Structure 1
Amino acid sequence: MSLQAYKTAATRSESPREMEYRLFGQVTRALMHAATVDTSDIATRIDALDWNRRLWGTLASDCADGTNAMDMKMRANIISLSLFVNTHSSAVMRGDEDFEPLIDINRMMMQGLAGPGQQAV
């Protein structure tokens, strides 16, 4: 079985929650890596921040949708976190802040999404 076929099969067997967990793991690892590169490696840093921003933007858009069945308070909290992620990412890009709060938020989300036996990045 080719690697692509395996990935496709694995994706089809994942629940939405498992897919979100996996995506948060990938994005968080990218942020962790970007935090370790030299500040002159702007491309790596910006790519990770942009990927994280897009993830959170998608979550916020989904939460803003009136047909979303999630509890209203939880939806509002996710939208608020998305706004923080956006603002903090800009500060990281300017060199005024570091990656750690973004990594911590993603890890907390992963803990909330984790099934039994899963451990956040």
Structure 2
Amino acid sequence: MNAQFLAKTAYATAAIPTRTERGTEYEVFARVTHRLKSAARTGGDFNALVSALHDNRALWNALAADVATKTNGLPQDLRAQIFYLAEFTVHQTRRILAGEADAEVLVDVNMAVMRGLRHEGEAA
């Protein structure tokens, strides 16, 4: 190791962008939505679909729990909408598992949330 190498490595981690809370939320939604979309598209791997639906429902359950707390800083109307979407996700997941619906509507909901997260992030 020489001084030049140490100087490069000392500042290398500073080049990694810092992720905001909104960016982290977007990334989680992107991962879950990608898995959900892929599992729904293949149509044959029921286990992959069940796993993706489980992860999607867990994400929405976490959001519902978060917006239900009094300390959540989001506006009340937005909190109510997120809670409603979480309930819708649970209901729609049951319908998908029963073979009464497909996962596209859940993908659409997640994509709309991702657009909102991305748009708000750009405005801030």
TM-score surpassing 0.5? yes
Give the equivalent residue in structure 2 for 1:96. Answer: 100
Structure 2 unaligned regions, length at least 5: 1-12
RMSD: 1.4
Q: CA deviation at 1:43?
A: 1.0
**Candidates 18, 27, 33, aligned match of 1:28:** 33
Give the equivalent residue in structure 1 for 2:110. Answer: 106
Q: Please list every run of at least 4 consecutive aligned residues from structure 1 whose deviation after the TM superposition is greater than 6 angstroms.
A: none
Whose radius of gyration is greater, 1 or 2? 2
The 5 A counterparts of 1:47-66 are 47-66=51-70
Structure 1 unaligned regions, length at least 5: 1-5, 117-121
Q: Structure 1 length as normaliser, TM-score?
A: 0.83
Q: CA deviation at 1:38?
A: 3.1
Amino acid paired to 1:28: T
Give the equivalent residue in structure 2 for 1:15. Answer: 20
Q: CA deviation at 1:94?
A: 1.0
Q: Which has the higher helix share?
A: 2
Figure out how many residues of one structure are paired with residues of the other and give that number. Answer: 106
* Aligned sequence identity (%): 35
- Using the alignment, how far apart are the partners of 2:74 and 2:98 within structure 1? 35
Is it true that 1:85 corresponds to 2:111 in the alignment?
no
